[in-house]
Amino acid sequence: MIGFWESILLTVITAATPLLIAALGELIVEKSGVLNLGVEGMMAVGASTGFAVATLTDSSLTGVLAGIGAGMALSLVFALVTLGFAANQVAAGLALTILGLGLAGLIGAKFVGTSRIAIPPIHIPGLSELPLVGKLVFGQSPFFYLSVALAVGVAWFLKKTRAGLSLRSIGENHSSAHALGLKVLRTRLLAILFGGACAGLAGAYLSLVYTPFWSPGMTAGRGWIALALVVFASWLPLRVFLGAYLFGGATILQMHAQAASLGLPSQALSAFPYIATIIALVLISMRRVGATPAPGSLGTAFVPPR
């Protein structure tokens, strides 16, 4: 019985980790007042680039770094359009997703069907063999520990640091922040690059750990779920952490429901995590009629006065 629950919890963790990493990156972006809907595209490019580079160099670490770099490069395009030319952020983000999915297919075209050995989990002698908690706490992928550290670091940055306070101030009212001497465009650029790095890292996790091969569409809408998670969590890091595991559990639940042959269409079961996301967002919207915890300048372009 312990082994059964251990396997369930392990699969929930593996499903939640990329959602958590990508959502934390988007949280920082949105806290700065920028709405980047291109997370799915950046994850896809990170997955394809990471796998391609890891295969060519036979180094998973190099592949991970390449995935992060690819996500940042794509986010830089978004920053150029939205910050440099003050273009509509929603349209630019959607275009970024389309561009990212196309580039991912192009980069990974020669690697379809190729597989690699997944990045192994960390093993601590004595501790990793403990019943139930051994593999869950002391035998996870390095990405899991990185995601937890990232969640703690983001929460600390936003609440306890001067730079985090500046970021939040810019997100709430960029005009007032600029009047106070804060560097609005520079701060938003750094936030966008951080979000791109997290999305690329999440994508690299998918192709080098979660399913160690490349296939088109392997992100499977996880970028959109990460975007919804930020809203679901009311732009709070701890709630992003909890929400990632909630929706990771929903993903695993539909897999086990399919294996149990419940007599429901497989398409309906596959759509369950996304339906759960929509229901959660609707319930939150109903509860907060007339009020929103979103940053005040979210989605609004900033043009410095001359």
The tens digit of pLDDT for each residue in 92-113 reads 999 999 999 999 999 999 998 8
Phi/psi of residue 161, nearest 5 degrees: -115, 155
Higher-pLDDT residue of 277 and 9 is 9
Q: Write the pLDDT tens digit of every residue in 183-224.
A: 999 999 999 999 999 999 999 999 999 989 888 889 988 999
Q: Write the pLDDT tens digit of every residue in 113-163.
A: 888 999 988 887 777 777 777 778 888 899 999 999 999 999 999 999 999
Q: How far apart are the first and last CA of the chain?
A: 68
Residue 295 and residue 235 in contact, taking contact as beta carbons nearer than 8 Å: yes
Domains in the chain: ranges and CATH:
2-115+128-287 (1.10.3470)
